Structure 1
């Protein structure tokens, strides 16, 4: 980290920390730098550029339009510096490195930990950090440079995000093998809504697609259980209390062990989302990040996995 600091401008570092914290005093605590020093660097930066970078308010500081542009640039400078330092440290190969992943809960329950474990059997010196967000937040985290790789279900393109891999990921009906619908090859929403449902919160793509499709068809349903914890929703189905909804990748091991069945839904609107592996546009990925991204993509499901 010391090498990283010596290669980046103090003014940019201080500027980014103030932007993140929303105040000079809080940035001072995080950086262990005097508030006056940070204030001088920010003022000098504004004088050099010739425009205010922050709007000073009674409750703190927020970026101006010019500040937003500079922040995007400064984050890319820091990421590129980090990459160069990492490449210098790892000239002998993938002996060490760090990969930060932002993803949604569905991927984090089983899939990502399994893939990390498999990767570390080959490259044991690579360390990982995994943080969980809503699908919309994943892209924001990548955009801000707080994670190297984003893995999320997406409905629409995201600005400043480069998609390394995109794969359709329809929503499936998850049920106990003894459920009345478990013997069917496909089911419709009108059939599903006749049974108690365990549903996630509206900030998930599963719930958004379900709400749109049921509203369009004017379907009434019994939401027996709602939670922001996907494992609890799946357990509702495991215990044969009703149905849950999920993508294949989130319940793969439950299906493989025979604890649930995952059945395709015939309504077209339930299949319009994609799995995306996301990185920041314009960023040259560190060697460890690119290597793991390639490894990850190689383990994502093919088109016909749930047909």
Structure 2
């Protein structure tokens, strides 16, 4: 359990304000201020810069905050595992992931996991990669799954796998029988794209810039489900990883054609956790379940046919 000084310190870090932190702790602001002063005296340095907009961590404060978060999570892990010995209460695993994984992969993995450990519950946030990395670094989520062009910083990479981009379309599309496609092959056909800010939109735009191609954009959306339905029902082409549309591939509602452009083979799936933290046993078992689910997906006939030089490469 965190001592009182660290508990109050973390409350100020999370609230960004001494007064707000005191309200949440149900104590007087002077009590919180004394604890912060105690820590600053102990470490002989300032932990916060005081601004009109609130309390901002100094470099030393950032280091102490990282330690305090790990200590808090370790305390929670120990409490949960002691509680598990008597199977009392529920365990909660907090996840954040790109839409690519939040739509099909994680619901499947969660469902399978809860068949074995029904006492475990989950909280899933669907976010962009930078926010996933921030939440895992700050200890707000236990596990993050994201697509990245380079390894996310400040976290422990549990698993990495190169995940190329495919052209996705209905089976009756004129290009659906092609073994591979280039961006030039697609240039004259209407496409649906994710909105700016997503990793896949960035690399599609980068590819088009290198090829000096302007796509015929019929739809831009931040919702993968809307894009998939639009492709399936109206003969539009989209771009995604094959895991993202696994259910539609298995039911032959969509096909995924490998792309030959180098830019579209640079994206990597990373499963990340907080550096220096030992996960609760239930969370560690879930990570292994997700990894197993991904690996076995590529052992199946459908994704084995689609795979474009994929490698399980934790160092990528």
Same topology, TM > 0.5: yes
Q: Deviations over 1:169-220 (max 9, x none)?
A: 1111111122111111211111112111211123211111111111111111
Map of 1:41 onto structure 2: 35
Secondary structure of residue in 2 paired with 1:52:
coil
Cα pair 2:151 2:270 within 8 Å, conserved: no
Quick one: structure 1 residues 30 and 195, their matched pair in 2 at CA, closer, same or farther if it must change by over 3 Å? farther
What is the Cα deviation at residue 226 of structure 1?
1.2
Post-superposition shift, 1:91? 2.6
CA distance in 1, matches of 2:180, 2:135: 36
- 1:143-292 map, 5 Å: 143-292=137-286
TM-aligned CA distance change 1:185 to 1:94, over 3 Å: farther
What is the CA–CA distance in structure 2 between the aligned matches of 1:56 and 1:241, rounded to whole Å? 57
TM-score (norm 2): 0.90
Cα pair 2:12 2:21 within 8 Å, conserved: yes
In the TM superposition, what is the alpha-carbon distance from 1:25 to its structure 2 partner? 2.0
Contact conserved, 1:198 with 1:223, CA < 8 A, in 2?
yes
Q: Which runs of 5+ in 1 are unaligned?
A: 1-6
Count, aligned residues: 301
Aligned-pair CA distance for 1:96 = 4.6
Q: 1:281 Cα shift?
A: 1.9
Match status 1:105 vs 2:70: no
- Indicate if the aligned counterparts of 1:199 and 1:227 stay in contact, CA closer than 8 A: yes
Distance 2:6 2:50 in 1: 18
Supply the distance in 2 between the matched residues of 1:216 and 1:92 (Cα, whole angstroms).
60
> In structure 1, which of residues 283, 299, 302 is the aligned counterpart of residue 298 of structure 2?
302
**Structure 1 residue corresponding to 2:70, chosen from 73, 76, 91:** 76
CA distance in 2 between counterparts of 1:140 and 1:94 reads 32
Give 1:24's aligned residue: 18
Map Cα deviations across residues 84-134 of structure 1 (whole Å, 9 max, x no partner). Answer: 111211236798522111111111112111111111111111111111210
C-alpha contact 1:94 1:123 (8 A) present in aligned 2: no
Q: Deviations over 1:2-60 (max 9, x none)?
A: xxxxx211221221221122111222333333322212211221122111111111111
Whole-angstrom distance in 1 between the partners of 2:250 and 2:133: 31
Q: 2 CA distance for matches of 1:135 and 1:106? A: 11
Quote the offset at 1:241 in angstroms: 4.4
Secondary structure of the corresponding residue to residue 299 of structure 1:
helix
**Contact 1:94–1:126 (CA<8 Å) still a contact in 2?**
no
Give how far 1:159 is off.
2.4
Paired residue secondary structure (1:44): helix
Contact in 1 for aligned 2:95/2:122 (Cα 8 Å): yes
Q: Distance in 1 between matches of 2:87 and 2:179?
A: 48
Checking the alignment, whether the CA contact within 8 Å between 1:51 and 1:66 is kept in structure 2 is yes
The one of 125, 130, 136 aligned to 1:136: 130
Q: Which residue of 1 aligns with 2:310?
A: none
Q: How far off is 1:238 after superposition?
A: 1.4
Distance 1:222 1:31, change over 3 A: farther
From 83, 100, 119, the counterpart of 1:89: 83
Structure 2: state its 5+ residue gaps: 308-316
